[in-house]
Structure 1
Amino acid sequence: MTTHQTHENGPKGQTDSAHKLSRLKMPDDLTGKAVLDIGCNEGFFCNQALKRNANRVIGIDMDEEFLRRAKEFYVDPRVTYLHQGWNKLPEGSFDLILWTSAMHYELDPQSVLVSIASKLTLGGTFILECGVKEVPRKEMVYSLRHDGGNWYPTLPLIEEMLGKAGFSYRMVSHAELVGTDPIPRVVFHCKRRIPSVIIVSGQTQVGKSDLAGLLYPAAKKVISLDHFISRIAVSECVHTPLEKFIKESTDPNSLGPTYDGIDANGLTEAYISLLSKGVAESDDLVVIEGYMTEKQIQLLEAKLSNKAFVWVARKSISSTGLLPTAKSLAIQSKLNEEATQAVKGSEGDCSNEVEQLRKELRHAKRYPWKYLKSAIQQRRK
Structure 2
Amino acid sequence: MQYQSFPGVKGSSTSLQKLAALRLPSLTGKRFLDVGCNEGFFCGYALFNCASQVVGMDKSAHAISKASVRFPDAEFINQSWDSLPTGPFDVITLLSALHYAEDQAELIHKLMALLADNGLLVLELSLAPGKQDEWVKVKRAIDERYFPTRNKLNKILQGYAWKVIGHSVMQAGDPQQRYVVHIRKFKPYAWLLMQEPASGKSTISRRMFGGKPDTKIISGDHIYQQMSQGEFELSHKMRNLVAADFSTATIDKTTLKVLEQGLAGELAQLWADRAGFRDFVLDSYVPAEYRQQIKAALQSLGYFPVEVSWDDYTPLTKVQESTNSARQYETYLKKEQSALACECVRVSKQLKKELKTLIQWHLDSPGSGKWCTGTETICVAGWAVTRDYLKTSYRLYVSGPEGEAQFTPEKTRTDVLDDVFGSAETAPAFWQDHPCGFSFELPASWLESGFELGLVIHDARIPLAHIAISQPKAVSLSTQLVQGLKWLWG
Which residue does the alignment assign to 1:133? Answer: 128
Aligned equivalents of 1:313 and 1:98: distance in 2? 34
Match of 2:101 among 106, 109, 112: 106
Which residue does the alignment assign to 1:20? Answer: 18
Deviation digits for residues 323-381 of structure 1 (CA, Å, limit 9, x no counterpart): xxxxxxxxxxxxxxxxxxxxxxxxxxxxxxxxxxxxxxxxxxxxxxxxxxxxxxxxxxx
Amino acid at match of 1:214: R
Deviation digits for residues 198-222 of structure 1 (CA, Å, limit 9, x no counterpart): 3224677764333112332396443
Which residue does the alignment assign to 2:201? Answer: 208
Match of 2:40 among 39, 43, 53: 43
Q: Pick closer, same or farther for the CA change 1:298–1:268 going to 2, 3 Å.
A: farther
Aligned equivalents of 2:176 and 2:258: distance in 1? 65
Which residue does the alignment assign to 2:223? Answer: 228
Q: Is the 8 A contact 1:194 1:282 kept in 2?
A: no
Q: Is the 8 A contact 2:166 2:180 kept in 1?
A: yes
Q: Is the 8 A contact 2:189 2:280 kept in 1?
A: yes
Q: Is the 8 A contact 1:194 1:309 kept in 2?
A: no
Which residue does the alignment assign to 1:3? Answer: 2
Q: Pick closer, same or farther for the CA change 1:52–1:144 going to 2, 3 Å.
A: same
Aligned equivalents of 1:9 and 1:310: distance in 2? 47
Q: Pick closer, same or farther for the CA change 1:182–1:296 going to 2, 3 Å.
A: closer
Aligned equivalents of 2:266 and 2:291: distance in 1? 12
Q: Pick closer, same or farther for the CA change 1:84–1:313 going to 2, 3 Å.
A: same
- Output aligned runs, 1:331-342, within 5 Å: none
Amino acid at match of 1:42: E
TM-score (normalised: structure 2): 0.51
User: How far did 1:223 drift?
Assistant: 1.7
Q: Is the 8 A contact 2:28 2:51 kept in 1?
A: yes
Match of 1:260 among 253, 256, 262: 253
Identity of aligned residues (%): 25
Aligned equivalents of 2:15 and 2:234: distance in 1? 62
Aligned equivalents of 1:57 and 1:183: distance in 2? 31
Aligned partner of residue 263 in structure 2, secondary structure:
helix
Amino acid at match of 1:132: L
Gaps of 5+ in 2: 311-490
Which residue does the alignment assign to 1:179? Answer: 172
Q: Is the 8 A contact 1:203 1:291 kept in 2?
A: yes
Gaps of 5+ in 1: 315-381
Aligned equivalents of 1:294 and 1:35: distance in 2? 34
What count of residue pairs does the alignment treat as equivalent?
Answer: 304
Aligned partner of residue 129 in structure 1, secondary structure:
strand
Q: Pick closer, same or farther for the CA change 1:96–1:270 going to 2, 3 Å.
A: closer
Aligned equivalents of 2:288 and 2:27: distance in 1? 36
- Output aligned runs, 1:144-223, within 5 Å: 144-146=139-141, 148-164=143-159, 166-173=160-167, 177-192=170-185, 194-201=187-194, 207-216=200-209, 217=212, 220-223=215-218
Work out whether 1:61 is the aligned partner of 2:58: yes
Aligned equivalents of 1:202 and 1:64: distance in 2? 58
User: How far did 1:3 drift?
Assistant: 2.5
Q: Is the 8 A contact 1:137 1:154 kept in 2?
A: yes
Which residue does the alignment assign to 1:77? Answer: 72
User: How far did 1:130 drift?
Assistant: 0.6
Q: Is the 8 A contact 2:123 2:182 kept in 1?
A: yes
Higher relative contact order (CA 8 A, sep 6+): 2
Aligned partner of residue 274 in structure 1, secondary structure:
helix
Deviates more, 1:292-301 or 1:99-108: 292-301
Q: Pick closer, same or farther for the CA change 1:268–1:258 going to 2, 3 Å.
A: farther
User: How far did 1:54 drift?
Assistant: 4.4
Which residue does the alignment assign to 1:342? Answer: none
Q: Is the 8 A contact 1:36 1:98 kept in 2?
A: yes
Q: Pick closer, same or farther for the CA change 1:234–1:22 going to 2, 3 Å.
A: closer
Aligned equivalents of 1:186 and 1:171: distance in 2? 7
User: How far did 1:58 drift?
Assistant: 1.7
Match of 2:281 among 270, 275, 287: 287
Higher strand share: 2
User: How far did 1:186 drift?
Assistant: 0.7
Q: Is the 8 A contact 1:262 1:268 kept in 2?
A: no
Which residue does the alignment assign to 2:297? Answer: 303
Q: Is the 8 A contact 1:30 1:54 kept in 2?
A: yes
Aligned equivalents of 2:67 and 2:276: distance in 1? 39
Q: Is the 8 A contact 1:223 1:289 kept in 2?
A: yes
Aligned equivalents of 2:179 and 2:252: distance in 1? 51
Aligned equivalents of 1:38 and 1:168: distance in 2? 19
Higher helix share: 1
Q: Is the 8 A contact 1:171 1:189 kept in 2?
A: yes
TM-score (normalised: structure 1): 0.63
Aligned equivalents of 1:86 and 1:303: distance in 2? 35
Q: Pick closer, same or farther for the CA change 1:222–1:24 going to 2, 3 Å.
A: same
Taking only aligned residues, the RMSD between alpha carbons, in angstroms, comes to 4.0
Deviation digits for residues 44-97 of structure 1 (CA, Å, limit 9, x no counterpart): 3333444445454221122334334444xx343312221222244212443432
User: How far did 1:279 drift?
Assistant: 3.9
User: How far did 1:26 drift?
Assistant: 4.6
Aligned partner of residue 260 in structure 1, secondary structure:
helix
